[in-house]
């Protein structure tokens, strides 16, 4: 089970990495069945963006969401 502090650290790492891209909007830690995961909100969601965003970082699941 993933703890909030671990998910929050991953979110901050990803925020620093993705804030340089124009498509990045925001990120959040959300609760799910395994504990916590990361949702990254983006302006555009195409194959190029999907390839850049990893699905798992340090056992924390990451997903992209168009907003």
What pTM did the predictor assign? 0.91
Q: What is the pLDDT of residues 23-50, one digit of tens each?
A: 999 999 999 988 999 999 999 999 999 9
User: How many angstroms separate the CA atoms of 31 and 61, rounded?
Assistant: 11
Higher pLDDT, 7 or 33: 7
Domains delineated in the chain: 4-66 (3.30.300)
The four Cα atoms 21, 24, 28, 29 give a dihedral, to 10 degrees, of: -50
């Amino acid at each position: 089970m993933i703890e909030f502090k671990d998910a929050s650290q991953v979110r901050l790492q990803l925020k620093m990495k993705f804030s340089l891209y124009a498509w990045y909007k925001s990120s959040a830690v959300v609760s799910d069945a395994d504990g916590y995961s990361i949702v990254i909100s983006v302006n555009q969601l195409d194959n190029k963006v999907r390839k850049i965003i990893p699905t798992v970082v340090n056992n924390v699941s990451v997903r992209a969401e168009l907003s």
